[in-house]
A and B are shown apart, each in its own frame.
Chain A
């Protein structure tokens, strides 16, 4: 290095500097004239809505895409990154949102994969073992090197990804939405690891859409909007409100405004609901819940504690090979929990709507056009056809109305669902389910992978449905969302309801304990809404 290092922070070469990066895909300008400077030894946040161009930018940095224009400087020297090997050699490591691990390999095997030295594995493995031990001590990155990856928790799998990058001597670590799959405790641990790495002089780029994380851990933050870098600021000098406004381009309400709930008669009554899955594991261990008309019940909990199964049973499609017992009533009428009558079409006839947890796998047919997806699940409805034929004109008219009312962009009926952004895909699902005016709406992860502007919009629609006197069951792993949207909250852990709380009467700490399975206060035992 020719320059003198570190005397003046601004004079030292930046870890990464981008100058005028542009990238277009066909007519879509994904990145436009991006300038970015990330200083060595800092944590730099990049925030923006889905489709703002964050992932494209990072893919350019990692050599997946070639920029149409612009220059990349790593450590002050211009570098043409043609593939991921170049990026790795330049000291750039990437931790993807969807881990790139071989599930049936051990941690050690995964770490040396692609970095084997020589034809025999043993020397590489023992070298890796040594490096791993050292890294574990330095950064709290403890993982059993001989454990098979598929047996690890998600948080540990992520550590393996970080270790992979560090093993390849990454100085610059890029993390794409790293906390999406983590519990609050795991996320805290990750942040401690990142802080440790920063203390060692590593540079970290954190891509996220969660404002809280940006405020908590980053030193500087850059905001992207529609392919452009609209601001780069010191985190200490900004606020979540300002960042949200920069992201969306207008003022955004971060908290849901809603009147006090006016609960009416009970709509959903669940008694001692149990589910044993095909492998014989009890996934639901006696759930009791009530939801009244005009009330939002939020179910908090780390994912994988039975919420999915609960939604699937209520939605009419319990997991294959499972046994369900207990009693569920909607408006007083029992829901069939097994047999031919237990199907989603029948549930819809009984007044249930369902916004599923995974819109891409369940809620939409990704290859179908928007208008076909508007009819999906209701394709037997009389207004959508005559006899066996579908009435395309009627469906399209309805779809156009929904697209307009829910501000789906681009407002195109014929575009395939997969070509919409996550937020707009979700708006299609939400429009379809809410406009059916169901007595009970099941909602799973309504805003997962949805941008802030759309979150605000979807939350508003949900509250409107509540105010129209409908019952809503909301499942979300986003604690903030549960806290701000729910009229009443229940926490699920290991197939049980650990307790119920009112949003005003609790703290995240209290809920966090329940989510971790610690039975806290006895106040939950006799909740007034239980006796109906």
Chain B
């Protein structure tokens, strides 16, 4: 018997958590002598009040969808992939290598090629921790964290010593060829005859992210492989009994997870920067963990949570720009949201479940 209706489980609980996080954030803002109401309106105006704000919100959300899906897929195999940051960084390298080495005449060809490069590099970066976990029992949380640092260091070296154009002072690759630039949503809107989101980085990758959500849903809940991943994630002894190889599933799930994290690079590297720069991921790999947690490891939840975090990112930037609230406070607000929706989930869930049980009893 379910303890409470599904809508309450997937919507009401995170919503209440969110309100609690916002309430405490308001107290913090009050404590530093600023107005919470003003902060909130600034954030909402800045992130959602204009097509410009929406453009940035959706751009950030696209990053978070990819990294959130990455964490989610691994989570269903009971693997906690904290390496999204490094895998996304490596995905960026894959994109850069493909776009700088292949003569691709049109973005429609460049996009799939870059996606293959991004996913392959991200997956490869997840493969070693996966193999170590599957074969040697080295805990994947530890190895993926370490691989984040290795990725950062490796990219640093590669950008400075290998990809930096001769004579450039900037630790970044050359710009990608003009023909490979992805269409921005603003361009697409213009083609359809209206103005929307001028000068914002959101691009066609957003739609790729939406398609990725659908495909991940199909994979996890509609395919035999997804069945095996979920079964293994729930019980390893049962998986063995059923003839599901833990080694195989660990490696496959991590390859898919790493590939999804890597795919983020088509948004930030190919779509926005149009060259590979240092520290391009900017923490999106870690935000992905919060997004997956808050999204209850379902693609629809990941999508909604990614939108929320996109809003927090963009709104936070606006807050720093227009008020005297320091930029660091945004990190506090994000941390509170993560704390309440992820770590303190049961604080809201358990009383809510009790309430629904009591209501049902009265109704019965």
The answer on a CB contact under 8 Å between A390 and B234 is: no
Chain A, interface size category, equals: 35 or more
The answer on a CB contact under 8 Å between B361 and A24 is: yes
The answer on a CB contact under 8 Å between B238 and A364 is: yes
* Residue of A whose beta carbon sits closest to that of B226: A390
Question: Which one of A24, A26, A367, A390 has the highest number of Cβ atoms from chain B below 10 Å of its Cβ?
Answer: A26
- Provided the pairs A26-B364, A27-B360, A377-B241 are in contact, do residues A368 and B224 lie with their beta carbons within 8 angstroms? no
Determine whether A76 belongs to the interface, using a CB cutoff of 8 Å to chain B.
Answer: no
Determine whether B223 belongs to the interface, using a CB cutoff of 8 Å to chain A.
Answer: yes
How many A-B residue pairs have C-beta atoms within 8 angstroms? Tell me. 78
Determine whether B289 belongs to the interface, using a CB cutoff of 8 Å to chain A.
Answer: no
- Provided the pairs A26-B360, A372-B227, A390-B223 are in contact, do residues A362 and B241 lie with their beta carbons within 8 angstroms? yes
The answer on a CB contact under 8 Å between A28 and B224 is: no
* Residue of B whose beta carbon sits closest to that of A320: B240
Determine whether A93 belongs to the interface, using a CB cutoff of 8 Å to chain B.
Answer: no
Determine whether A209 belongs to the interface, using a CB cutoff of 8 Å to chain B.
Answer: no
Q: CB-CB < 8 A to A26: which residues of B? A: 1, 357, 360-361, 364
**Distance, CA A363 to CA B230, complexed state (A):** 15
Determine whether A388 belongs to the interface, using a CB cutoff of 8 Å to chain B.
Answer: yes
Q: CB-CB < 8 A to B357: which residues of A? A: 26
The answer on a CB contact under 8 Å between A344 and B224 is: no
Determine whether B325 belongs to the interface, using a CB cutoff of 8 Å to chain A.
Answer: no
Interface residues of B in 201-238 (CB under 8 A from A): 222-225, 227-228, 230-231, 234-235, 237-238
The answer on a CB contact under 8 Å between B238 and A345 is: no
Determine whether B243 belongs to the interface, using a CB cutoff of 8 Å to chain A.
Answer: yes
Contact with B along A315-326 (1 / 0, CB 8 A): 111000000000
**Distance, CA A509 to CA B223, complexed state (A):** 53
Interface stretch of the complex, out of A125-133, A223-231, A346-354: A346-354
* Residue of A whose beta carbon sits closest to that of B232: A365
Determine whether B41 belongs to the interface, using a CB cutoff of 8 Å to chain A.
Answer: no
Out of A363, A375, A380, which one reaches B241, CB within 8 Å?
A363
* Residue of A whose beta carbon sits closest to that of B356: A26
Out of B224, B240, B360, which one reaches A388, CB within 8 Å?
B224
Out of B1, B223, B237, B242, which one reaches A345, CB within 8 Å?
B242
* Residue of A whose beta carbon sits closest to that of B235: A365
Determine whether A379 belongs to the interface, using a CB cutoff of 8 Å to chain B.
Answer: yes
Determine whether B245 belongs to the interface, using a CB cutoff of 8 Å to chain A.
Answer: yes
Determine whether A120 belongs to the interface, using a CB cutoff of 8 Å to chain B.
Answer: no
The answer on a CB contact under 8 Å between B243 and A361 is: no
Out of B238, B245, B361, which one reaches A362, CB within 8 Å?
B238
Determine whether A422 belongs to the interface, using a CB cutoff of 8 Å to chain B.
Answer: no
Determine whether A419 belongs to the interface, using a CB cutoff of 8 Å to chain B.
Answer: yes
Q: CB-CB < 8 A to B241: which residues of A? A: 315, 317, 344, 354, 356, 362-363, 377
Contact with B along A357-371 (1 / 0, CB 8 A): 010011111111000
Contact with B along A381-399 (1 / 0, CB 8 A): 0000100111010000000
**Distance, CA A345 to CA B222, complexed state (A):** 20
Q: CB-CB < 8 A to A142: which residues of B? A: none
Q: CB-CB < 8 A to B242: which residues of A? A: 344-345, 376-377, 379
The answer on a CB contact under 8 Å between B227 and A375 is: yes
Out of A363, A376, A389, which one reaches B222, CB within 8 Å?
A389
* Residue of B whose beta carbon sits closest to that of A380: B224
Contact with B along A410-428 (1 / 0, CB 8 A): 0000000001000000000
The answer on a CB contact under 8 Å between B223 and A365 is: no
Contact with A along B229-261 (1 / 0, CB 8 A): 011001101101111110000000000000000
Determine whether A343 belongs to the interface, using a CB cutoff of 8 Å to chain B.
Answer: yes
Q: CB-CB < 8 A to B364: which residues of A? A: 26-27
The answer on a CB contact under 8 Å between A343 and B245 is: yes
- Provided the pairs A26-B360, A28-B1, A376-B231 are in contact, do residues A345 and B224 lie with their beta carbons within 8 angstroms? no
How close is B252's CB to chain A, nearest CB, in angstroms?
Answer: 12
**Distance, CA A332 to CA B350, complexed state (A):** 57
The answer on a CB contact under 8 Å between B243 and A389 is: no
Q: CB-CB < 8 A to A419: which residues of B? A: 1
The answer on a CB contact under 8 Å between B240 and A368 is: no
**Distance, CA A345 to CA B228, complexed state (A):** 12
Out of B222, B228, B235, B361, which one reaches A379, CB within 8 Å?
B228
Q: CB-CB < 8 A to B237: which residues of A? A: 358, 361-362
- Provided the pairs A345-B243, A348-B243 are in contact, do residues A389 and B238 lie with their beta carbons within 8 angstroms? no
Please give the residue numbers on chain A whose beta carbons come within 8 Å of chain B beta carbons, in ascending order.
24, 26-28, 315-317, 343-348, 354, 356, 358, 361-368, 372, 375-377, 379-380, 385, 388-390, 392, 419
8 A-B residue pairs with Cβ-Cβ distance under 8 Å, sorted by A, are A344-B243, A361-B238, A363-B238, A365-B230, A379-B228, A379-B242, A380-B224, A389-B224
Please give the residue numbers on chain B whose beta carbons come within 8 Å of chain A beta carbons, in ascending order.
1, 222-225, 227-228, 230-231, 234-235, 237-238, 240-245, 357, 360-361, 364
List 7 tightest A-B contacts by C-beta distance, closest first: A345-B243, A344-B243, A377-B242, A362-B241, A317-B240, A27-B364, A388-B223
What 5 additional pairs, Cβ within 8 angstroms, besides A344-B242, A346-B243? A361-B237, A365-B231, A372-B227, A390-B222, A390-B227
